[in-house]
Amino acid sequence: MGDRIIFSLLILPFIIWGIVGVIFPVFMYKTTALNTLKKKPTQEEIRRSKTNGFVMLAIGVILVVITLIGGLGF
């Protein structure tokens, strides 16, 4: 059980980065390579960053749940 918890902790950055992306989408946009012109992001770009945050959060939660359950049973 200890190895599952350690592996879940390794997945924790996915969840944290997803939460930051949902709460601060402008920060997420400014920390990507898309922001090379130092311009103000449009509403579409902010919405895309927020959606990416939700996706990253979902992937992290799914990985943690699969890890704690014990894998896919193969």
pLDDT-based confidence at residue 11 (cuts at 50, 70, 90): confident
| Tokens encoding 36 | 């090379």
Distance CA(44)–CA(39), nearest Å, equals 14
Give the tens place of pLDDT for each residue, 12-65. Answer: 888 898 899 899 888 887 777 665 667 787 888 889 889 988 999 999 999 888
Q: What is the pLDDT of residue 1?
A: 66
Cβ-count burial of 74 within 10 angstroms (0-12 exposed, 13-18 middle, 19+ buried)?
Answer: exposed
Residue ranges of the alpha helices (H) in 1-74?
2-23, 25-30, 43-69
pLDDT-based confidence at residue 72 (cuts at 50, 70, 90): low
Specify the higher pLDDT residue, 8 or 55. 55
Torsion of Cα atoms, 35 then 38 then 41 then 44, to 10°: -40
